[in-house]
């Protein structure tokens, strides 16, 4: 008895040892295949030539090895269409793993080789009845990938059959096939809509998201087909796959904005009125804020932004802020959404503005987007912090970031008027920089700020000057509280206020800015910035009650014209145009100053032969405009036919209208009554559907 038990134990031990050896051998073979997988991507050309022989072999192992090599070649974007006939022969192989690889190959090559794929269309149709749902779905995918209009009817029949398949995976493939058939031949649109009606009744979340996507592709305007399915789609939303949730949410948002009434805000008499179907959608979508897929979170945020009442908008702030720390790529996309929300509802993120501070290792577009978001969140309480941040960003290595930061400083002065002296102090410090980008952008912003302040007289000033330039001088000498402090005021200094009796000293601040810009005209090389300085000098270069070298003109204005005339031929067209305007304004202010008139004639003569027709036209227009206001603007040998002896008789005999000096002054100095405020709107983004 003991001997029998001993024999049984030894036999069982022998069998166990054999099974362990088989298991080890099997795992060793799998391990060798895994380790050797890299060799598939680095195979020699002679091995690639043997693929056809392997595909025609009777061994499934050889065929599997050949198919793996083909898939490796496809991943390396190598041409593999020459193996198509040999691969198609194995489409009906009983080996399931081999058939999967064959269909993967066919999915890649069938659209580019439709004629060869047609040879096996009967095999594909036969596989639509295969017991395996995976094979049925792959056969439908290959069949719909044959983009030949002549077989569209056959494909349509296969899609109709698969739409009623018991497997949700096959029905999902049928919904994707609907899109392919529609792109090949739109004549089957009515039939495809009938198939879509069947697919939309599906109860499986696996295929429901794809069905909604197909409907949005082939019939985006037929939202009425969702009437009977809306509530079921809302309830199934949490169970649909992640990318299906994105598609379903996009379509449902369009449906709600088209079909349902807007929420009525709360008032003293009653609370908010929200449609019950809208409440259902928001309630079903809210749990998706915790989804790990950032695309789903952004889709839900978009839905709440467009659909939710104001009392529920606060729910989108935390999920969007959470996406900033997921990855650099996700942060870039999330900032686009955050910028849109911050501009319309800044109160949601004001307390979290520290989350948008620029990091040194941020990408250029991320830095610019963060600056835009910070600017949208600027308030009286945090403008000091943001101003210091923008001043630091102005030293960035990216020129576009520097420009955005400097323009943001100017925008802060517009949003918070009490911060204007501090912003001017920062900008005036920047024009002393050795970097052209900083100087040019600072000049552009200074021009906008100075112009806006000079054209905004205080309501307490009622001074009226009887001179021909009374309107301009009133602007220069009016009370401007926000510009009162000296340019050297520190950033921490509080803004001062003055009454209209101190208007003369008040006006020195903006004029001193223009004077400093005029003195640094040689250091400003950017064409747009140089043009801004020339415009400021011409527009605000007149003085009264002060003894100057040229009566009625600031001492620094003629020197700016001299420097601009010296480099006229090498300047950009924009600078040339402003140089001509400056010359016209200065000789209009001092029409009897001989040297100034000669300098203006020199500039007009250079412009007369310029290559740019805009410059030539501007010179011709200005000279003609000044004929009746400035004596000697036309030289004695001028081809225009008007010499120095311009008198009333000649005026009467010359066709056209000749303006007096007062009229020309109004045209040149008051031609534009408003100002153009340059706002930072770079990177603006809207939600797209």
pLDDT tens digit sequence for 505-524:
333 367 888 888 888 888 88
Cβ 416 vs Cβ 383: under 8 Å: yes
Q: Is the pLDDT of residue 544 over 70?
A: yes
Q: Is the pLDDT of residue 373 over 60?
A: yes
Cross-strand pairs, 542 = 553
pLDDT at residue 144, as a whole number: 85
Higher-pLDDT residue of 137 and 638 is 137
Cβ 112 vs Cβ 99: under 8 Å: no
Q: Is the pLDDT of residue 676 over 60?
A: no
Q: Is the pLDDT of residue 485 over 50?
A: no
Cβ 142 vs Cβ 154: under 8 Å: no
Q: Is the pLDDT of residue 190 over 80?
A: yes
Half-sphere exposure of 87 (CA within 13 A, CB side): 30
The DSSP string of 453-488 is HHTS--TT------STTHHHHHHHHS--GGG-S-TT
What ranges do the domains of the chain cover? 221-261+274-323, 345-515, 521-682
Q: Residue 92's CB: how many other CB atoms inside 10 A?
A: 13
pLDDT at residue 208, as a whole number: 92
Q: Which CATH architecture has domain 345-515?
A: Alpha Horseshoe (1.25)
How much is the average pLDDT of 55-62?
A: 80
Mean of pLDDT over the chain: 79
Which residue's entry shows tokens 């949208």? Answer: 376
Q: Is the pLDDT of residue 374 over 90?
A: yes
CA diameter of the chain = 149
CA–CA dist 549, 294 (Å, integer): 68
Q: Is the pLDDT of residue 647 over 70?
A: no
How much is the average pLDDT of 63-76?
A: 83
pLDDT at residue 457, as a whole number: 54
**264: helix, strand or coil:** strand
pLDDT at residue 593, as a whole number: 85
Which residue's entry shows tokens 């501007």? Answer: 618
């Amino acid at each position: 008895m003991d001997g029998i038990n001993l024999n049984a134990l030894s036999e069982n031990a022998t069998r166990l040892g054999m099974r362990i050896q088989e298991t080890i051998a099997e795992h060793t073979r799998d391990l060798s295949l895994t380790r050797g997988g890299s060799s598939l991507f680095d195979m020699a050309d002679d091995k690639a030539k043997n693929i056809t022989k392997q595909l025609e072999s009777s061994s499934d192992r050889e065929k599997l090895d050949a198919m793996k090599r083909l898939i490796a070649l496809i991943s390396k974007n190598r041409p593999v269409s020459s193996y198509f006939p040999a691969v198609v022969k194995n489409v009906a192989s009983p080996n399931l793993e081999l058939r999967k690889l064959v269909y993967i190959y066919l999915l890649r090559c069938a659209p580019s080789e439709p004629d060869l794929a047609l040879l096996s269309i009967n095999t594909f149709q036969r596989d639509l009845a295969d017991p395996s749902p995976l094979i049925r779905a792959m056969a439908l995918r290959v069949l719909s990938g044959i983009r030949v209009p002549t077989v569209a009817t056959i494909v349509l029949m296969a899609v109709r059959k698969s739409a009623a398949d018991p497997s949700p995976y096959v029905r999902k493939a049928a919904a994707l096939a609907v899109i392919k058939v529609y792109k090949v031949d739109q004549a089957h649109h009515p039939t495809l809509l009938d198939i879509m009606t069947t697919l939309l009744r599906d109860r499986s979340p696996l295929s429901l998201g794809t069905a909604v996507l197909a409907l949005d592709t082939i019939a985006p305007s037929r939202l009425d087909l969702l009437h009977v399915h809306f509530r079921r789609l809302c309830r199934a939303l949490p169970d649909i796959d992640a990318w299906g949730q994105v598609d379903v949410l996009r379509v449902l948002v369009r449906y709600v904005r088209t079909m349902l009434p807007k929420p009525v805000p709360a008032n003293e008499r009653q609370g908010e009125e929200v449609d019950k179907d809208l409440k259902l959608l928001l309630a079903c979508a809210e749990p998706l804020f915790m989804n790990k897929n950032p695309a789903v979170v952004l889709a839900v945020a978009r839905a709440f932004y467009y659909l939710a009442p104001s009392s529920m908008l606060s729910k989108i702030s935390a999920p969007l802020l959470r996406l900033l720390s997921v990855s650099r790529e996700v942060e870039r996309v999330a900032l686009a959404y955050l910028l849109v929300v911050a501009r319309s509802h800044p109160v949601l993120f004001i307390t979290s503005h520290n989350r948008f501070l620029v990091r040194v290792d941020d990408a250029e577009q991320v830095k610019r987007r963060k600056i835009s978001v910070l600017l949208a969140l600027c308030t009286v309480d945090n403008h000091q912090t943001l101003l210091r941040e923008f001043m630091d960003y102005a030293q960035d290595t990216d020129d576009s970031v520097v420009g955005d930061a400097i323009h943001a400083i100017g925008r802060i002065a517009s949003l918070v008027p009490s911060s204007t002296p501090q912003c001017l102090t920062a900008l005036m410090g920047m024009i002393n920089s050795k970097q052209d980008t900083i100087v040019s952008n600072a000049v552009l912003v200074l021009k906008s700020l100075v112009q806006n302040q000079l054209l905004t007289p205080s309501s307490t000033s009622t001074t009226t000057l009887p001179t021909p330039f009374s309107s301009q001088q009133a602007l220069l000498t009016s009370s401007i509280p926000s510009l009162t402090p000296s340019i050297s005021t520190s950033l921490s200094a509080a803004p001062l206020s003055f009454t209209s009796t101190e208007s003369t000293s008040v006006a020195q601040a903006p004029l001193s800015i223009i004077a400093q810009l005029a003195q640094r005209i040689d250091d400003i090389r950017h064409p747009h910035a140089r043009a801004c300085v020339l415009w400021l000098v011409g527009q605000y270069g007149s003085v009264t009650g002060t003894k100057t070298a040229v009566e009625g003109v600031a001492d620094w204005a003629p020197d700016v014209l001299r420097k601009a005339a010296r480099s006229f031929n090498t300047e950009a067209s924009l600078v040339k145009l402003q140089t001509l305007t400056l010359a016209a304004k200065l000789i209009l202010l001092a029409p009897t100053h001989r040297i100034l008139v000669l300098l203006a004639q020199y500039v007009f003569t250079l412009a007369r032969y310029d290559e740019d027709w805009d410059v030539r036209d501007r010179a011709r227009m200005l000279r003609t405009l000044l004929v009746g206001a400035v004596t000697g603007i036309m030289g004695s040998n001028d081809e225009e036919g008007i010499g120095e002896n311009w008198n009333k008789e000649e005026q009467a005999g010359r066709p056209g209208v000749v303006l007096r000096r007062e009229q020309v002054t109004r045209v040149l100095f008051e031609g534009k009554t408003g100002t153009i405020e340059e706002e930072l709107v770079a990177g603006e983004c809207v939600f797209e559907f």
